[in-house]
């Protein structure tokens, strides 16, 4: 079955649906696009996270040098030159709500076929398929940060990277000592349901304060393939570290948080130096968070803890007595592309009352371009419709995507000349409304 391609591919190339039977070819292409230390024969033995019905290849037909010509014609073979896929996130958290979002992933072009417009054609296929599926937003992790802005993606979330010294002093939180702690080898049969339930609950109400404020971008592993791949733990992919471990903290028999981690030990002249590399550190309330971090920062034979993909406003930034010693740095997390302005803006909630007209430019999706009136009450319903009224703010769809999850201020974008105010006061009101009380983040890379 051939997938539609609104922008023609170069001559000789065509799109095709990929299936599980193409697994080896997909992994072979992936190792060309993203050099890997793990041998291809090893990789094919392990599960892939892909939803095959949403996986598209670009193939080129070439002469088969090993085939015998028939009737003077040289037989050809199809070679996989590029591919992309997407995850069907049916409940992707946006400010105050969830929306169906297309998670773009596994985008790769063989180096033999670069610089021919194949990536641009694949992105347009992705946009068309997502819009046809009723997904008004696309989100991704960018292997190279400079690539996706030209397709209208804006950097919408950051995550925090720390190197916390072992034994770092933490502020006390009432109730932390009341938690029972289990430290075990992570196992899907034993911990899968617990991890899924706690992760979902934490995204719906970070901090456990009952405010109804969710964490945008806190996407869950919705498909069986994503679950299976996430729990798979082959030694070849551990980077010299141990198998995955898990800390579970419970109160009155109820799980209140978990953290996955791996350790790597180095014996030096001055003694053992070990690194604790965390996966997800997830807690449902401040006391559970303090209990988790207390365990992670006090494991024997270790010298430092390196959290991965935690929110920039994570509780540990407030618990550390000396946060400077943790050498904080940020990295880009989610990139967001608005595919349907009306549905996307009406589908999220806003932190303040808003009534303004946006002039949106979009070079790739003409349906998005034009004037849109956005009306919403603070934390209530929203509506967004086309209008002929004059614009209050002018911006490109890239900046709209950057601001969409509430972590990037429209006012900040305006200081760089990326958002223009047409009506005095509109920018301040819009920036306040588009913001969100907690920072967006995804706790895992897709």
Q: Which residue has the tokens 């991965």?
A: 308
Asked if residue 63 is part of any domain, the answer here is yes
**Residues 6 or more apart from 286 whose CB is under 8 A from it?**
173, 207, 208, 315
Same domain, yes or no: 410 and 359: yes
Same domain, yes or no: 187 and 312: yes
Q: What residue spans of 116-252 are helical by DSSP H?
A: 118-132, 188-204, 224-231
Same domain, yes or no: 30 and 95: yes
CATH number at residue 292: 3.40.630.30
Tens of pLDDT along the chain (446 residues) come to 344 446 689 999 999 999 999 999 999 999 999 999 999 999 999 999 999 999 999 999 887 666 666 676 667 788 999 999 999 999 999 999 999 999 999 999 999 999 999 999 999 999 999 999 999 999 999 999 999 999 999 999 999 999 999 999 999 999 999 999 999 999 999 999 999 999 999 999 998 777 889 999 999 999 999 999 999 999 999 999 999 999 999 999 999 999 999 999 999 988 889 999 999 999 999 999 999 999 999 999 999 999 999 999 999 999 999 999 999 999 999 999 999 999 999 999 999 999 999 999 999 999 999 999 999 999 999 999 999 999 999 999 999 999 999 999 999 999 999 999 999 999 999 999 999 999 999 999 99
Asked if residue 61 is part of any domain, the answer here is yes
| Nearest residue to 182 via CA among 277, 242, 253, 232 | 253
Total of domains in the chain:
3
Same domain, yes or no: 93 and 174: no
Same domain, yes or no: 220 and 303: yes
Which residues form the domain of 411? 341-434
Same domain, yes or no: 32 and 127: yes
Asked if residue 131 is part of any domain, the answer here is yes
Q: Which residue has the tokens 């033995």?
A: 45
Q: Six-digit token pair at 135?
A: 């997904």
Where a domain ends, among 332, 360, 388? 332
Same domain, yes or no: 279 and 382: no
Task: Indicate the DSSP class of residue 74.
Answer: P
Asked if residue 140 is part of any domain, the answer here is no
Same domain, yes or no: 322 and 374: no
Q: Coil, helix or strand for 131? A: helix
Same domain, yes or no: 45 and 120: yes
Same domain, yes or no: 380 and 325: no
pTM, two decimals, is 0.94
Which run of H or of E encompasses 78? strand 76-94
Q: What residue spans of 133-252 are helical by DSSP H?
A: 188-204, 224-231
Q: How many residues are there in the chain?
A: 446
Asked if residue 403 is part of any domain, the answer here is yes
Alpha carbon distance 85, 105 (integer Å): 5
Asked if residue 149 is part of any domain, the answer here is no
Same domain, yes or no: 281 and 359: no
Where a domain ends, among 120, 135, 150? 135
Asked if residue 280 is part of any domain, the answer here is yes
Where a domain ends, among 77, 101, 135? 135
Same domain, yes or no: 106 and 84: yes
């Amino acid at each position: 079955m051939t997938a539609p391609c609104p922008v023609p591919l170069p001559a000789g190339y065509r799109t095709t649906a990929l299936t599980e039977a193409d697994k080896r070819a997909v992994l072979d292409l992936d190792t060309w696009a993203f050099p890997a230390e793990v041998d291809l024969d090893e990789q094919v033995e392990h599960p892939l996270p892909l939803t095959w019905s949403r996986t598209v290849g670009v193939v080129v037909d070439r002469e088969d040098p090993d085939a015998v010509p028939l009737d003077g014609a040289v037989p050809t073979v199809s070679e996989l030159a590029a591919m992309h896929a997407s995850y069907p996130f049916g409940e992707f958290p946006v400010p105050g709500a969830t929306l169906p979002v297309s998670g773009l992933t596994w985008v790769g072009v063989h180096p033999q076929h670069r610089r021919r417009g194949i990536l641009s054609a694949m992105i347009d296929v992705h946009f068309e398929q997502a819009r046809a599926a009723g997904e008004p937003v696309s989100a991704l992790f960018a292997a190279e940060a400079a690539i996706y802005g030209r397709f209208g993606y804006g950097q919408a979330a950051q995550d925090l990277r720390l190197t916390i010294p072992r034994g770092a002093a933490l502020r006390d939180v009432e109730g932390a000592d009341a938690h029972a702690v289990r430290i075990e080898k992570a196992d899907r049969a034993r911990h899968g349901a617990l991890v899924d339930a706690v992760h979902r609950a934490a995204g719906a109400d970070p901090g456990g304060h009952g405010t109804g404020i969710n964490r945008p971008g806190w996407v869950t592993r919705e498909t069986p393939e994503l679950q299976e791949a996430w729990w798979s733990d082959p030694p070849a992919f551990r980077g010299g570290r141990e198998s995955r471990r898990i800390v579970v903290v419970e109160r009155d028999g109820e799980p209140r948080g978990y953290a996955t981690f791996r350790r790597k030990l180095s014996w030096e002249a001055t003694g053992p130096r070990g690194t604790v590399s965390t996966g997800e550190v997830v807690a449902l309330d401040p006391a559970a968070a303090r209990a988790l971090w207390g365990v992670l920062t006090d494991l024997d034979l270790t010298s430092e803890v390196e959290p991965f993909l935690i929110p920039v406003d994570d509780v540990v930034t407030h618990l550390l007595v000396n946060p400077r010693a943790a050498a904080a740095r940020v990295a880009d997390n989610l990139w967001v592309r608005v595919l349907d302005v009306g549905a996307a803006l009406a589908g999220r909630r806003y932190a303040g009352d808003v009534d303004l007209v946006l002039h949106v430019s979009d070079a790739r999706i003409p349906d998005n371009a034009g004037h849109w009136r956005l009306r919403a009450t603070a934390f209530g319903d929203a509506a967004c419709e086309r209008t002929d009224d004059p614009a209050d703010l002018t911006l490109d769809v890239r900046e709209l995507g950057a601001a969409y999850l509430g972590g990037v201020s429209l006012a900040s974008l305006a200081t760089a000349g990326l958002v223009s105010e047409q009506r005095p006061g509109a920018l301040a009101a819009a920036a306040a409304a588009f913001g969100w009380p907690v920072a967006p983040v995804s706790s895992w890379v897709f």
